[in-house]
Amino acid sequence: MRLQRPGRTGIEVIFLASHERGAGMTARIGVVGIGWWACFMHIPAVQASGVATVVAICDRDPERLRIAGDHFGIAARYGDHDRMLAVERLDGVIVATPHVAHAAPAIAALRAGAHVLVEKPMATNAADGHAIQAAALRAGRQVMVPTALNFTAYSAQAAAWVRTGRIGAVRHVVCQMGSPLHDLMAGQPMLETANHLFRPPASTWSDPARAGGYGWGQMSHALAWLAHVTGLGFASIYAQDVKSPTGSDLYDAAVGRLTNGATVAISGAATVPKQVGMHTDVRIYGTEGCIFFANLPARLELRRLDGADMLVPLTDQEAVYDGALPVQVFARLCAGQTVDNASDGACNARVTAALAAIYRSAASGQVEAVD
């Protein structure tokens, strides 16, 4: 069986973009938080989408606005997101502020009638995560979090296997992730960003007081995949971690229960060699079979007790992490096209609550309920 990947977005459902923009029109997008990832990934991916353009940027630092605005040819520059939302007629807003500052601009943009792509983690406490999702429901808009693996056709296939009962009831999950970010998480300049317009700041990535560390910084990817594919949330978690020299977590290990009573084992590590790259490995065990997924080395397998297995051939190149993919899906959403929002507000409210519980448990040494 070979999985076809038309559009690379899997099974599709439709949402109307802000202001009822018709399909095929160019969407107007604003970006809040002008730093490393916004300039390296978000703005270029939108500008290359063919269906949307970044028309306004917002940041508290006038020099960043000047540099990025001049570099990308964006004339509308704001120091306050409320002012930008009041002046510009935006179909979508990308929130790329530091981890701890996602909620306010995301909720404001939703109230203004825009779809929102908010960088992971969607929020850094369960209350803010639920507030963002509630604002989206009230506004009739979509929240998207760019956990890129969720937006692939092979992930849509894994989710379809679970939802159609191909492995029976989910009873146990193993979820492992590793990234080549030991320098960033330890407060050092990220090696591969030396020639980028901006570099990721230690204040965001390695300061535990500002949600720095591997859990907040990376494990959203694996947990969002788990939540999307299984459709389950987290009920309780016990966790331990190992700290970097700055006090942020470099390694995380947790066990817990999902909302259906299944057990789950989660782990993350920041010290993968640079030449290897990010990897995610998830195994989902059910009453009738199991799913094995990894993006490095790539594989997606359905193994059933009755022997009716299904294997999806994947190359490592096909499964490599593609940060532009969810941004392109967001651009299409804002342009009124049909998309699959595979990492939405509901999914990431679960992820935010789980990560908050992981950090509470690592600090308390106790099992923590997930809010």
Domains in the chain: ranges and CATH: 11-147 (3.40.50.720), 149-321+342-369 (3.30.360.10)
In this prediction, residue 273 carries a pLDDT of: 96
- Note the pLDDT tens digit of each residue in 62-90: 999 999 999 999 999 999 999 999 999 99
Q: Which of 7, 3, 5 is nearest to 338 (CA)?
A: 7
What is the three-class DSSP state of 51?
coil
- Note the pLDDT tens digit of each residue in 281-303: 999 999 999 999 999 999 999 99
How buried is residue 263: exposed, middle or buried, by Cβ count under 10 Å (0-12/13-18/19+)?
Answer: middle
- Note the pLDDT tens digit of each residue in 138-187: 999 999 999 999 999 999 999 999 999 999 999 999 999 999 999 999 99
Please check the confidence at residue 16 and state whether its pLDDT lies above 60. Answer: no
Full-model pTM = 0.92
Please check the confidence at residue 313 and state whether its pLDDT lies above 50. Answer: yes
Type of residue at 66: R
Sheet (strand 310-312) strand order? 310-312, 298-304, 289-295, 279-286, 170-178, 263-269, 249-258, 234-243, 368-369
Joined tokens for residue 340: 């699959």
State the average pLDDT over residues 114-124. Answer: 98
Q: What is the dihedral of CA 31, 35, 41, 46, to 10 degrees?
A: 20
